[in-house]
Structure 1
């Protein structure tokens, strides 16, 4: 991978995480130049390799999170395997792990041990409920975080059951947060010379996002319920159907935009009506406001409605599906990238980095590693193992050297 201005070029990361959140953190670091070594079970690899959908036996979800990383197959359940990983970590700047709290300590790979020989090491630990607290030992996946945090209870419509999203929402936010924590710890290390532990619970970043509901309860005694597409904080706002059956979003979330929306609807007078003159008044009469917007949107096809809203500078957008996004010139230019070096995924697009830096062109996603594909390369490069030792470890089942 060419450094081409990558801010994390030269950073060495050992990823011990599986599935979603920790590999997301690893991908964030890799996106900005880090060399991420992914340690996998030598027989099965990361369970995410079994995720659906797949193309010709290759998991698309696994590919998105792990393209461009290097895979070593090492059995952490063996003494020799743990010794190999410890030696790799001695040469690393960052470890990202997602085992249940206490597992690394049981293996003799806890932070205190690792930092004895590598005091500058930054260790990002992602778990269901964090490294502290009464629930620290409970298992937790994203679905548990989405329900325990309170998110699922406020997501959906009043007459629908609590709803979790059909994607790794909590995991993704936790992974992004872990990468941010690593960046802060690395900055602090540049001043102190010492690393630290970044402790991320799956539910906490999500709880931050929905945080107003806890203030509402503790300050006002109100328990927020499901309210569909509204936020309960501003009106009008929501998703609306146009005459052609296509949907669009409108967010008139401040006074000026609300006035422009009513003008776009040919109802500039509405903003002077005491029932709709302020945000508080509109929320008190939200059903009436929504009825007006719903009726107006159904008068024309979506493209025409959006054109009018754009003319009046009303914040709005189409409700895109995957095909819409892939065809959109803006997303093609700025956001979507290809995974290269893998025939199965030729011409496959995925979202690239979550942010852009002026001095960095962005990464190349050069291939999806098979289990242990770079084991021989990395153990030779980093630890100086020779062919005989690699062959012995492979024969003993401690490593998977990619079948070489």
Structure 2
């Protein structure tokens, strides 16, 4: 089964990544039609197979990271395993890996070596610090990349230690930028006929999101600090409590929108109050204004407050949990959450493909495969190894 109309249909990706950054890149490419062949250690497979919430022996995060992929086992620390990888890469458009720099080269699988037989190959490499520079050889996880890239310092409340975002932000950003870079390299190949190396450093993927943080310090002498749920000088834009112990987010910092908020609150006079009449004034009186809005939201249920806000055109929304997402009619109408069938779990809900393309959309085809599920299909069908040879390789621990 393949997504023949996906924009990456016809491209073959060999994924040798583990954990999140590399596999998330592979997931994104697979979502849009690429044939993703995931190389896994024969003994344990990708560590993500054993991470996160577990139901009946199956770990749920793996079901998403492994979707739309084919799993083959290969011991890359053996000469025969390296030869199998070389053969697979010879038939591929992309090799995706997130080993430490130099690992592929030690195995005789460096780019120069692979490109001799496959000059159109795109090698996408994800590491903590990139392939060059004094830190290149260091072990690097997404959390360290978040710290070095700047997002950890500015995340959380100002009176507490820097906080984690709640998801593996650094890894996921690196995976997204790597998918973007891979597609750019494939487009470049259309013009030149040659592949290239895509070098993604996790800390640089995080750094790319840091807006004007660097020039603010260098040119204005201002250092961004943790500010909790507010953006200093931009008001009102915060979370507010309701009578039923919910939290809603209101973003009404623009003058015209603030006027509509005042109407929804039955306090139209606030829009003309000198303390709140302009963006700058609201920023100066931010905390006082938040207190006024909180007094109003506490008098209403979340549903009633949001009904009033939406009726008056004020951007606002509930702070969603997974339960809220699964019950929301807008999520349902757009199929933002869909399901894939698992052999023992039944229907597994998960986020759908994004973005949406009108003519060549992405598609969820199958849930994460079992370890080595596609050994026969790939080693037999792609490489032409007969059954007795595959049996021998399995017996010797190569696959």
Q: Normalising to structure 1: TM-score of the pair?
A: 0.95
Unaligned runs of 5+ in 2: none
1:195 and 2:195 are equivalent in the alignment: yes
SS at structure 2 position matched to 1:337: strand
Alpha-carbon deviation of 1:266?
2.1
Q: Quick one: distance in 2 between partners of 1:34 and 1:18?
A: 18
Deviation at 1:4, TM superposition (A): 5.0
What is the root-mean-square deviation in Å for CA atoms of aligned residues? Answer: 1.4
Match of 2:298 in 1: 298
Q: Provide Cα deviations, 1:123-145, integer angstroms capped at 9, x if missing partner.
A: 11111111122211111111111
Counterparts of 1:142-161 in structure 2 under 5 Å? 142-161=142-161
CA contact (8 A) 2:353 2:364 kept: no
Return the alpha-carbon distance in structure 1 between the equivalents of residues 80 and 87 of structure 2: 11
Query: Where in structure 2 are the equivalents of 1:77-88 lying within 5 Å?
Result: 77-88=77-88
Asked if structure 1 preserves the Cα contact closer than 8 Å seen for 2:32 and 2:363, the reply is yes
**1:3: how far off?**
2.7
Indicate conservation of the 8 Å contact 1:339/1:345, yes or no.
Answer: no
Q: Which residue of structure 1 lines up, in the alignment, with residue 97 of structure 2? A: 97
Cα distance change, pair 359–345 in 1 and its aligned pair in 2 (3 A): farther
2:346 aligns with 346
Deviates more, 1:356-365 or 1:6-15: 356-365
Deviation at 1:273, TM superposition (A): 2.5
TM superposition shift of 1:269 = 2.4
Kept in 2, the 8 Å contact 1:25–1:176? The answer is yes
> What residue number does 2:280 align with?
280
- The answer as to whether partners of 2:32 and 2:361 remain within 8 angstroms in 1 is no
Quick one: distance in 2 between partners of 1:253 and 1:365? 43
Q: How far is the alpha carbon of 1:175 from its aligned partner?
A: 0.8
> Partner of 2:32 in structure 1?
32
Pairwise mapping of residues 228-247 of structure 1 onto structure 2 (< 5 A)?
228-232=228-232, 234-247=234-247
- Rounded to whole Å, the distance in 1 between the matches of 2:269 and 2:12 is 62
Q: How does 1:133-282 map to 2 (within 5 A)?
A: 133-232=133-232, 234-282=234-282
**In the alignment, which residue of structure 1 is the partner of 2:289?**
289
User: Displacement of 1:233 after TM fit?
Assistant: 5.1
* CA apart distance, 1:361: 4.8
Q: Which runs of 5+ in 1 are unaligned?
A: 400-404
Q: Structure 1 residues 77, 225: CA separation in 2 closer, same or farther (over 3 Å shift)?
A: same
Q: Distance in 2 between matches of 1:215 and 1:258?
A: 30
**In structure 2, what is the Cα distance between the partners aligned to 1:271 and 1:218?**
37
Secondary structure at the counterpart of residue 183 of structure 2: helix
In the TM superposition, residue 197 of structure 1 has moved relative to its aligned partner by 1.0
TM-score by length of 2: 0.96
Q: Within the alignment, does 1:336 sit opposite 2:337 as a pair?
A: yes
The 8 Å contact of residues 233 and 284 in structure 2, kept in 1 or not, is answered as no
**CA deviation map 1:375-401 (0-9, x unaligned):** 1210111111112211221121111xx
> How far apart, CA to CA, are the structure 2 residues paired with 1:253 and 1:17?
43
Q: Match of 1:402?
A: none
